[in-house]
Structure 1
């Protein structure tokens, strides 16, 4: 498979925005209103951008929002493509390729997760230190490396230490319950059984989710710095209210996470991270 070029997509978006974003955020469902805190906002519908995959998830669209905060140009996406929705892995990571083609080097990903270990509790925030990929697929598989790019991707330090330390410090300052841990990625969409959760715990996972890893691998391969912020929304393997309960929990954490994102962008603006 040839390397997927997003040059045309990036050129179109850059012309529409009239600016060069420095930070790319994926805001999970329930956090998209954070983008309204930006100034000089410009929105572009996913379907307007050439080269991006067609959306086929029922009742859901995606929008890019660009704006400025503290002098930092930010590009947000209000959701993501999930592998469990039937998208190919190349399609799942297409927003990362687009952001990279725009020259973006800082990636902040947010997601909801189920708790596996006893290191935290529902309602906490986890900053990802490492991951375990159990999705059974890798976004770089079969994709030809660009000239000068290694065929294999080193992810031993996938999550940027400076960004992670900043997020941890700000969380504590803002009195947001936080811990740092390991994210286990599964393909979904079925939630985990108690036996699977026990297996994940033995493997060293603290939380489990159905996204994040493909985006992280792609961003690292493109030379990006990655920060991943997880919202602990439920106890994995328990009898809970499914996606509706996850969304209710995330809603309760919204403004704490908004304050955290504000602080991170401010630190980037100050050149402290």
Structure 2
């Protein structure tokens, strides 16, 4: 990853801002609605930012929204990049590098995911406790720049334990039932086969999706604190006898958006920002 490109992108974003963001949000399929709650927003299209890829998936607007949310200065990605779009792992995770360069230390990453755990239901929110990288590659492959992080980063606490506890406490205060579990990252874009879902369940996966894992690896490499939340948008293949579609994902995320908005805003309002 070219450090100069990271600097140029972050300097361009800084030139548009009068505030310094302290918290980053990555908003997954159908969850970009949270960015519309940000007050006094500065909106920057990905197309404007040097070296940023473009979001090509429906449900992903393709812009940064920077402003105030629940008393915190936030930078939200309204739409993300996926490996299946044909981008390299380094391109997919470039925004995480830029966030770190901007001085952001905390990240909330969200996604829509298929439920593997048969006790889950579509519409459930799942706090990610850990992940399985089933993508067959890593964004850290290649030469390591020590300015960005260690050659062999520790992933034993990729998802910050204090943030997980904080999120559980917030759910309890809201009287909101949430799940916890392990997220499996697959490349996509095809949904899993029933046999693959059985395999992932055997391996310990609770939900499966096509994002998040590369971003969290790079955030950990940069020593950022991460909280992950999945919206269980459908049950994975073979659990219910029905085909899977992206439309179903969007319908479910739309159905639960009030719970999602309430939950994430509550988390942000009292999120501890320092280690």
TM-score by length of 1: 0.93
Which of 253, 258, 265 is the aligned partner of 2:268?
265
Show CA shifts across 1:115-170 (max 9, x none).
Answer: 11234222111101111111001010014222484211110110011111111221
Query: CA 1:226 to 1:264, structure 2 compared with 1: closer, same or farther past 3 Å?
Result: same
By how many angstroms is 1:32 displaced? 1.6
Contact 2:24 2:106 in 1 (8 A): yes
In 2, distance between residues paired with 1:71 and 1:260?
Answer: 15
**Residue aligned with 1:6, SS:** helix
Aligned equivalent of 2:72: 72
In 2, distance between residues paired with 1:29 and 1:182?
Answer: 19
Note if 1:252 corresponds to 2:259.
Answer: no
In 1, distance between residues paired with 2:105 and 2:88?
Answer: 24
Query: CA 1:204 to 1:58, structure 2 compared with 1: closer, same or farther past 3 Å?
Result: closer
Contact 1:231 1:250 in 2 (8 A): yes
Show CA shifts across 1:24-67 (max 9, x none).
Answer: 001123222212222221111111111323x2737765110001
Aligned equivalent of 2:47: 47
RMSD: 2.0
Displaced runs of 4 or more, over 3 A: 1-5, 58-61, 270-273
Residues paired across the two proteins, number: 271
Name the stretch that deviates more: 152-161 or 60-69: 60-69
Note if 1:14 corresponds to 2:17.
Answer: no
Contact 1:124 1:176 in 2 (8 A): no
**Residue aligned with 1:140, SS:** coil
Structure 2 residue runs without a partner (length 5+) = none
**Residue aligned with 2:175, SS:** coil
**Residue aligned with 2:153, SS:** coil
